[in-house]
Amino acid sequence: MTRSQVFKALGRFVWGLVVYSFGVYMTINGGIGTGPWEALSIGISNHLHVTYGMVVTAINLTLVVFDWKMGERIGMGTILDAVLTGNFTDIWMRINPLGSNHGFVIGAAILLAGLFVMALGMYFAMGSGQGCGPKDALLLVVGKRLPKLPIGLVQILIFLCAFTGAFLLGGPVGIGTLITVALNGTALQIVFNLLHYEARDTVHMDIFECLKVLKG
């Protein structure tokens, strides 16, 4: 891969994060309970009186270190995801293009649409070949150590841990949280199928390979 191709790939990855973070904002804006990780981050931010983005960044950087220690491949995109996603979501929440105080039906529709927008963002980011996000890498770490369990069940177990933490910290868990757990994978698969994208076929460049190409 040439330097120009790497820059294009990184640009695609960042664009994917912008789209993905808008989807996260939508799931929060729906007001009927958000995803487990988002609810956990909001619960922590409320207790520490810091922004949602700061908490997401702290959690993601911790996961990056953990993933790396457990032998997972870390790409430039992994670092960008860790640092930018929460802050992009903060920006969307401040702009708040969808307004507030939706009823249940509209809130549920916004949340469901947000799952598909998140999946679209993942398509752009993952398709760049610049590495998995910290939470995706965590799924691989746990999945490899529980080989007898289907990867979907491993994802549910991780979600349950995040859900428990969110519930104990008073995060915005609700029916939307259950919808997210139940339908997040389905939305992802629908979007990937429509775009004829198979994530497992993408070969990712690690951060050292990326830096080597950028340095010429």
Higher local confidence (pLDDT), 208 or 152? 208
Name the pLDDT band for 65 (thresholds 50, 70, 90). Answer: very high
Provide the pLDDT for residue 20: 94
Helices (H) and strands (E) in the chain, counts: 9, 0
- Predicted confidence (pLDDT) per residue in 93-148, tens digit: 999 999 988 889 999 999 999 999 999 998 999 889 898 889 888 888 888 888 88
Name the pLDDT band for 48 (thresholds 50, 70, 90). Answer: very high
Provide the pLDDT for residue 46: 93
Provide the pLDDT for residue 142: 86
d(CA 72, CA 188): 23
d(CA 46, CA 65): 25
Count how many domains the chain has. 1
Name the pLDDT band for 47 (thresholds 50, 70, 90). Answer: very high
Name the pLDDT band for 10 (thresholds 50, 70, 90). Answer: very high
Q: At what angle do helices 207-215 and 76-95 cross, to 10 degrees?
A: 90
Provide the pLDDT for residue 136: 81
Provide the pLDDT for residue 71: 85
Task: Give the CA count within 13 Å in the CB-facing half-sphere of 107.
Answer: 17
Domain that holds residue 145: 3-215
Provide the pLDDT for residue 16: 95
Provide the pLDDT for residue 45: 94
Task: State yes or no: pLDDT of 166 exceeds 90.
Answer: yes
**Residue 204 gets which letter from DSSP?**
P
Largest CA distance in the chain: 54
- Average pLDDT of every residue of the chain: 90
